[in-house]
Structure 1
Amino acid sequence: MSQIIHMKVESLANQKWVYLTFIYAFNVIQDRVPLWQKLKCFAARIRGPWAVGGDFNCVLDHIERCGGSSSKAEIEHFKNCMVECGMLDIRAIGSLFTWNNKRRPEDRTYSRLDRFMVNQDWCDLFPDMFAHFLPEGNYDHTPCIVSSNKHT
């Protein structure tokens, strides 16, 4: 399926399995509907630690956008999916806004489109995990490094 790379990964150190899903969501709200449906299907089958990260191309709240606008439906579809999947943002440091349109300052829009979310089993396995969103560079998205001090 487009928009998703989904995998089950085993740690060679302790033979524990985790699920990882990487997202590059479409720009158009209606085109993201199959993505939300697929994530809900995954959530219904996954037993164990699960992380979902990437470019969701929408925000979870109006305060995650500066300039421009987000529709209520867009936010609600995303939020409802994440609640139904049992996903929570991990602690994030660095840049609040992870994307901008690179236009002139007076026309610029900033948004938090990129995130790393996990279920409770993942939180239990990696309680100190965090996402560090680095300063913007030449690209429209900020780089992100996900780290944990625990080696499992």
Structure 2
Amino acid sequence: MSQAMSVELTHLHSGRVAFLSLVYASCSMVERRELWSYLSDCSQIFHTAWLVGGDFNALLNAREKLGGRPPNPVSCREFQGAIDDAGLIDAGFTGSRFTRCNNQRNGSCVWTRLDRALFNSQWLNDFKLPQLPTYLVHALTIVLS
């Protein structure tokens, strides 16, 4: 799988196991389908806490983009379907709602939320965060992209 890497983490003292998948998705909607399939397969294998994070190069809806053409609705549906199919929950964010800018000038700047963290319900159970989304993801201001 060229768009993601997964590792098993084991806490040395408690023996608790968790999985971490790091994502750098293709810019191609067609190629991302391989990633969506991979995440679905992982959800069938990883029965403990699982955190998935990185650059998904996909949007869930039009609110995750400012400027430029509207996002492809098929791509948005496929991404949402992949999240649902894998039983993942979006961790949300604090800070800027956008994680990338194309750095264009003269009114053609496009802001998007391509980076995110997702987790399964077991992650939520094991780590019992008191409040979501403020503890998992803080979107940093983008200087260069």
Q: Which of the numbers 123, 130, 140 marks the counterpart of 2:136?
A: 130
Q: How many residues align?
A: 139
TM-score, structure 2 normalization: 0.91
The match for 1:89 is: 90
Task: Return the offset for 1:127.
Answer: 2.9
Taking the aligned partners of 1:126 and 1:99, their CA distance within structure 2 comes to 29
Taking the aligned partners of 2:104 and 2:77, their CA distance within structure 1 comes to 28
Q: Specify the SS of the correspondent of 2:93.
A: strand
Aligned AA for 1:78? F
Structure 2 unaligned residues grouped into runs of 5+: 130-134
Distance verdict in 2 for CA 1:125–1:112, change over 3 Å:
same
Aligned AA for 1:136? I
Taking the aligned partners of 1:76 and 1:91, their CA distance within structure 2 comes to 18
Taking the aligned partners of 1:95 and 1:122, their CA distance within structure 2 comes to 25
Task: Return the offset for 1:13.
Answer: 2.7
The match for 1:26 is: 26
Taking the aligned partners of 2:106 and 2:113, their CA distance within structure 1 comes to 18
Taking the aligned partners of 2:106 and 2:120, their CA distance within structure 1 comes to 37
Distance verdict in 2 for CA 1:105–1:96, change over 3 Å:
farther
TM-score, structure 1 normalization: 0.87
Q: Specify the SS of the correspondent of 1:115.
A: strand
Structure 2 residue 118 is the aligned partner of structure 1 residue 117: yes
The match for 2:67 is: 67
Deviations 1:66-100 (A, max 9, x none): 11221111001110010011111114111110011
Aligned AA for 1:56? F
Taking the aligned partners of 1:13 and 1:104, their CA distance within structure 2 comes to 52
Q: Specify the SS of the correspondent of 2:137.
A: strand
Q: Specify the SS of the correspondent of 1:106.
A: coil
Distance verdict in 2 for CA 1:105–1:21, change over 3 Å:
farther
Q: Specify the SS of the correspondent of 1:51.
A: strand
Taking the aligned partners of 1:131 and 1:48, their CA distance within structure 2 comes to 21
Aligned AA for 1:133? A
Aligned AA for 1:37? S
